[in-house]
């Protein structure tokens, strides 16, 4: 049993955004179904969805220490799959029309649309999901949160976009062509969109969690990095050269390694901060020196959960560790920015009650 949550209620704007995005995504998929037929659409949708559970699990695994609200994650995914897709296509096509009217040839316009317009427009739209969440800034406590929200928007966008690519290939050259595109987009580079947009996520999260002058440049720099990586991949793919594509792939994989390193270091830092804040609560009886030792290293936390599952206390241990993590994050937020004293006390007491109710060892 856990104490009642004091989390912010879902805002009407968030709920409206979720519904609108979901409806737009369904409309796009319905149009694809109508234009491509049930067989082609069914195959394309299957190929697009097949890697999604693994990709979602990979992204959400970054967020195990302090999970984000499911509604906010769903909003980011739906925004990418709906609003970002619809506006991305519309604005890119509109931009291409302007270049056509300016006298550019069709081949040049196609290249500009793929390498310049699509990255500029799509990254702005996917990244806007994080800007819309700025009003819920208490949910973005660190760089990992920015990466997770951005990745969800990227996965939503990629899932719907991939249906379109697979369907187009199927209509032109049949099943084998659709499968070939799936190998590239679904197996070799399935994390492209999440990686690009995660650059924006890093910028937004840095701007929210730091008070240095550099924070003002973080968001535009993150956006520029996202556009660069996206344009690099699209440009390399348009050359038809495996060598050029390989270089672009290595650069993007380097960005992925950076994101993983950031999340690992931040997770370790947060766990270490528990050793600074939690001992002050030992007099309350909800935590002991042994508990502090268990909570302040990732291997010890994992070993404690394994022991708890063996003795039937798996859920209690998970809730206890989560409440202790949230209590630490509350102190980190208070240290970083002004927090209303009454709200701080209410949230602190909630976490302490949860720890007291779940501590059965």
Q: What is the mean pLDDT of residues 257-279?
A: 93
Structure tokens at 229: 């990586």
Burial grade of 166 (CB within 10 A; 0-12, 13-18, 19 or more): buried
Integer-rounded Cα radius of gyration of the chain: 23
Those residues with Cβ within 8 angstroms of residue 158's Cβ, 6 or more apart along the chain or in another chain:
80, 185, 190, 192, 193, 194
pLDDT of 140 > 90? The answer is no
pLDDT of 93 > 50? The answer is yes
Confidence of residue 141 (pLDDT cuts 50, 70, 90): confident
Inter-residue contact 59 to 155 (CB < 8 Å): yes
Distance CA 268, CA 256 (A): 19
pLDDT in tens, 154-168: 999 999 999 999 999
Inter-residue contact 161 to 85 (CB < 8 Å): yes
pLDDT in tens, 298-341: 899 999 999 999 999 999 999 999 999 999 999 998 888 777 88
Largest CA distance in the chain: 76
CA-based nearest residue to 160, from 74, 61, 52, 256 = 52
Please give the C-alpha separations between residue 138 and each of 8, 118, 159, 165, 339, in angstroms, as whole numbers: 9, 32, 28, 37, 10
The pLDDT, as a whole number, for residue 263 is 95
The pLDDT, as a whole number, for residue 6 is 46
User: What is the pTM assigned to this prediction?
Assistant: 0.90
pLDDT in tens, 40-88: 999 999 999 999 999 999 999 988 888 888 999 999 999 999 999 999 9
């Amino acid at each position: 049993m856990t104490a009642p949550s004091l989390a912010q209620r879902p805002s009407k704007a968030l709920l409206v955004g979720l519904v609108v995005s979901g409806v737009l995504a369904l409309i796009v998929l319905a149009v694809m179904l109508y234009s491509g037929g049930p067989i082609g659409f069914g195959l394309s949708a299957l190929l697009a969805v097949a890697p999604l559970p693994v990709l979602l699990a990979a992204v959400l695994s970054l967020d195990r220490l302090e999970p984000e609200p499911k509604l906010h994650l769903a909003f980011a995914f739906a925004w990418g799959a709906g609003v970002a897709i619809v506006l991305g296509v519309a604005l890119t096509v509109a931009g291409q029309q302007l270049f056509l009217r300016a006298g550019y040839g069709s081949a040049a316009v196609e290249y500009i649309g793929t390498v310049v317009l699509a990255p500029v427009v799509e990254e702005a739209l996917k990244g806007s999901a994080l800007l819309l969440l700025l009003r819920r800034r208490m949910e973005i406590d660190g760089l990992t949160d920015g990466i997770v929200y951005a990745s969800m928007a990227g996965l939503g966008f990629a899932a719907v976009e991939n249906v379109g690519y697979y369907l187009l290939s199927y209509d032109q050259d049949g099943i084998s062509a659709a499968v070939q595109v799936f190998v590239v987009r679904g197996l070799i580079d399935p994390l492209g969109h999440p990686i690009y947009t995660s650059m924006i996520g890093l910028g937004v999260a840095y701007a929210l969690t730091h008070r240095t002058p550099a924070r003002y440049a973080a968001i535009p720099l993150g956006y520029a990095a996202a556009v660069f990586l996206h344009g690099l991949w699209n440009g390399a793919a348009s050359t038809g050269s495996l060598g050029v594509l390989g270089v672009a792939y290595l650069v993007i994989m380097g960005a992925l390694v950076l994101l993983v390193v950031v999340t690992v270091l931040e997770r370790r830092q947060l766990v270490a901060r528990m050793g600074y804040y939690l001992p002050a609560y030992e007099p309350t009886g909800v935590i002991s020196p042994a508990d502090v030792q268990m909570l302040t290293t990732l291997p010890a936390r994992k070993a404690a959960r394994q022991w708890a599952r063996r003795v039937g206390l798996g859920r209690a241990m998970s809730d206890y560790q989560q409440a202790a993590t949230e209590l630490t994050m509350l102190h980190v937020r208070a240290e970083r920015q002004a927090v209303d004293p009454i709200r701080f006390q209410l949230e602190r007491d909630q976490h302490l009650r949860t720890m007291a109710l779940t501590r059965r060892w």
